[in-house]
Structure 1
Amino acid sequence: MTPARLSLVTIAAFALAPAALAQAAPENSLAFGFALVPDYDGSADYSLRPAINGSFSFGDVTLDLRGTGLRADLIAGPVAAGPVLNYRFGRSSDVDNPQVAALPETEDALELGAFVSVPLNGTVALSADLLADVSGTHDGVLASLSADWRQPVSDRMAVFASASVSAMDANFAQTYYGITAAGAAASGLPAYAPGGGLRDAGLTLGASYDLTDRTTLTAAIGYRRLLGDAADSPIVQAGDRDQMTLRLGLGWAF
């Protein structure tokens, strides 16, 4: 397994509700926990990694830290929108699958983009984000859409769900799912040149419980199914196109 590190989460570190569904609460929050996640995209092996999530308000501006992503909501009101900065971990040779371990390593990437989250009512919001590589690692683009739902079931407990889908361009696909001739010779996997298109679809289910007025315990389980050229990659075929995550976190509001 890979060494423990902050986990990258497409939706949120502990699958908490988006800004558009945030409950009336103190302006700042910080959560720490652990996530059981695949070693790399398409892996059948899992690692337990630390995770962090936070929200900090500065007047009409709200900063949301979600795993390795930082969002700035620049719009006052129910609609949330603004820039996104994301750090994407690469794939190292320190993985359990010997064929994937023999492939050239993928460097970490820094991505910049924008997001918008629009509430449909008090419990449902639609969100979209677009990320582009600015580090020269994959020189690609990734777009995501999600529908998020949150419903209180008691004074202290709420349940939530999120359904998502993402799409990638050919540059992103080649970096994370492609295999060059040199990589094929080193690993024994066939050479593969994927194109852009749908990357995955996923569903997250979870619950949060207020231990005190300012302390919340959150647990979530997530499922993603890799699609299209991502699923057809020999890297994924050597692992699993069905990806699970388990998350547990403790948060404080202040």
Structure 2
Amino acid sequence: MSGQASAQADAPAEAKPDAPAGNWKIAAGPGVYVAPDFPGSRHALVYPIVYQDIDYAGRFFSRGFDFLGAYLLNNDVWQVGADFQLDPTWRRARDDARLNGLGDVQMTVRARAFAQAQISFVTLSADLAQDIGGQKQGLIANGDVLFSLPAGKWLFTMGPGVTWGNGQYMRTFFGVNAQQSRDSGLPVYSVGAGLREWHANAIVSYDISRRWSALGAVTFARLRGDAGASPITERRQQWTAMGALTYRFR
């Protein structure tokens, strides 16, 4: 997940002149999420999601995997705030024979702080997200540069970014300790904090009507450093994608 979900959730939004009046703005609908089976896997998981985009008075929000958040600052240039984020990244030994003996890693909830600045068609975005679910997924940081191009009812957004992981995160997903080595047959592999990946985001949204909208996002990432060289990693190239069709209730 890492930077991909954040970039998708924090993509610059164009104001809709026919948006409903009032403090509440609520949109939701069915979607699909595609992600690697585990970080470094050559296989992908596909599963349905419910995508929501909820805002109250420009101060509180729930959007995608960021299910409960608040803005400290929210204006035409700056968005600064914090939220709780569902991180669906996991790893299950039964899904791949190579993982036997490494132990399972469950999905978790993160506390995230973020800041982004939008200057003309360029958005600079950064966030820190700490595992608070007790799943040893540690701290990750993302930095992204996004370029937006509105075209009628379309909004195209794309740009590069990087993801960094602290020592606990890197050890959980890419390290192999002595006990895991004995149980799995993989060589001992020590890792530390560092750059996990660089990635490129592509996001497109389309206003089908006043009430209906469609959203699609694709992220291509390449694992770097300790993450890319880990004996757990099967493929350095990683793809994540999401699509949703939403109905605006108000």
**Do Structure 1 and Structure 2 share a fold, with TM-score over 0.5?**
yes
Residue 63 of structure 1: aligned partner: 61
Q: d(CA) in 1 for partners of 2:186 and 2:112?
A: 34
> Tell me, what secondary structure is at the counterpart of 1:34?
strand
Cα shift readout 1:166-225 (whole Å, capped 9, x = no counterpart)? 111111111111112221122221111101110111112232222212211223322011
* Structure 1 segments (4+ residues) deviating >6 Å: none
Aligned pairs for 1:30-179 within 5 A: 30-67=28-65, 70-78=68-76, 79-88=78-87, 89-95=89-95, 97-121=96-120, 123-138=121-136, 140-153=138-151, 155-179=152-176
Aligned CA distance change for structure 1 residues 109 and 209 (closer, same or farther; 3 Å): closer
Output the CA distance in 1 between the equivalents of 2:203 and 2:109: 29
Check the 8 A contact 2:65/2:86 in 1, yes or no: no
Tell me how far apart the structure 1 counterparts of residues 55 and 127 of structure 2 sit (CA, whole Å): 21
Residue matched to 2:239: 244
The corresponding residue for 1:181 is 178
Check whether the contact 1:54–1:66 (CA below 8 A) recurs between aligned residues: yes
Identify if the C-alpha distance between structure 1 residues 110 and 208 changes in structure 2 by more than 3 Å, giving closer, same or farther. Answer: closer
Give unpaired runs (5+ residues) of structure 2.
Answer: 20-24
Match in the other structure for 1:216: 213
AA of the residue aligned to 1:56: I
Letter matched to residue 15 of structure 2: A
2: distance between equivalents of 1:119 and 1:109?
A: 30
Partner of 2:199: 202
**Which amino acid is the alignment partner of residue 109 of structure 2?**
L
> Scaled by the length of structure 1, what TM-score is found?
0.85
User: SS at 1:10's partner residue?
Assistant: helix
Q: How high is the TM-score relative to the length of structure 2?
A: 0.86
Task: Using the TM superposition, name which of 51-60 and 178-187 deviates more.
Answer: 51-60
Could you say if the C-alpha distance between residues 87 and 157 of structure 1 is closer, same or farther in structure 2, counting changes exceeding 3 Å? closer
Change (3 A) 1:53 1:177: same
2:232 is paired with a residue of what secondary structure? Answer: helix
Tell me how far 1:137 sits from its aligned partner: 2.5
For the structure 1 residues 106 and 68, does the alpha-carbon distance in structure 2 shift closer, same or farther, using more than 3 Å as the test? farther
- CA-to-partner distance for each residue in 1:10-54, whole Å, 9 max, x for gaps? 343893653xx2211333322431122210111001121123433
Do structure 1's residue 233 and structure 2's residue 226 form an aligned pair?
Answer: no
Change (3 A) 1:247 1:110: closer
Structure 1: 5+ residue stretches without partners:
1-7
Deviation at 1:139, TM superposition (A): 6.5
